[in-house]
Structure 1
């Protein structure tokens, strides 16, 4: 009798784990470093799948980002996902940066175009798009594949629930996402959004166009009016007027404003999960309180892992 094939195997009824990740950025001062590491220790207790570390190809935080990546790997159980922007960087420069990241043991890169220079001047042979960076990373991976024990580098990209400020249409944004998938992207993390239906609408458009990679909603705890307005200005995405009014109505009641923001954030996360989101990526701004408060309100199916105490004893 032939052994059963995978097609014949019974379908598992176990709920798939929901991916959990956070975004961190290198500290700008000694005081900020203390705050960041307090946040890291608190977030580590939630056993996230990875933490992304903001990083620029030629930015001033280059060394600090690498230092943070090293410490995360040496001193915590966290797996870093290194941001890497490419616009204006030459193939030679970016080749060196990607190899440096891989040399440090990182196996996840968030490949981003980055902001264009204000004067618009770019090197003649500089990379123009995230798609170019993905293809460069895959070429490097092919040359180094013997080191990865038959594994690979995980490449993430950005997705836009609302039209990118430089894009002619939402349809064009989806075509760009599809092109990044064809070039070798493994998953996408969305930019911030403020309305529940914006995530489900993006996923619907993307799936109809042929995008099959996971699209993970990037969610910002909506507890700071100043931060909401600033991020809205930078991203070009208008926040909910009703939410702004509710937060403003709290006046000097900081705790009340936080409760309103947490409730709104939980609503966004629950709507995304109901729409089939495979995970949640929380933009923490190096603070843990709001992120943990949001998570406490969500019942995320998460994989069981060895305790952190056991890990630290082993070290």
Structure 2
């Protein structure tokens, strides 16, 4: 996603510096070559393996895998920065959202979240996309909105940082459940039910932490959930599908060979729903399967209503 956003910003004429630990990737970028999408060239994008070089920039976009952010972020000078998180997940070790971690390190920085239904390859190719920018400083957010927005990359504003963060994280867990259902051949009825009930669980978790319920019915919630749950471009859906087809967790992760954020998020989320006593059978079931329980025995609990009202919380 970092390279994707660099591609988009490059098209808009912005100066961009990318940080990556992979020297081969950095070399390609500095030669003007997009390292992941064939046929795309950079004009004003440079790359470095030296974190110190990014300190001269005011706007920092973080698109790292969530679990490595704590190790990297302490090496960056965050004073006076706009920190725009494009990472989706919950930090497993301490159950914190990225906003909580970053604000602890530098309370005075301005924090934003860029989230929504946006597969990297499609954005890189300039295909139509709508996304949301969550903010705590509206004036600065409007400047960023103007810098990011384009004809094929529509940026909406939302002041619910907690809701936007949680939507981007939790939808990955539900997408694993949808993939699992599809992998087991349970059909479209089941897929639709899991997406709908999963969205309800996402909103329940969000409300517990002060998010607005309506945020989960926007781009960063329902929008991202629908995309991630229904497309085979989704790593989380693919992971779940492989589990449903009989692969072990280790085999599925090896086959995908990329970060599947929903795995660690499911583990962190399980701790949260147990601690807060939140009714979330789909999220809990995904955790149990990741920890080795038989999917065929766990799956029936995904849609078990325990004789509840539909919108009971």
TM-score by length of 1: 0.32
**Higher helix content, 1 or 2:** 2
Between the two structures, name the one with larger relative contact order (CA 8 Å, sep ≥ 6): 1
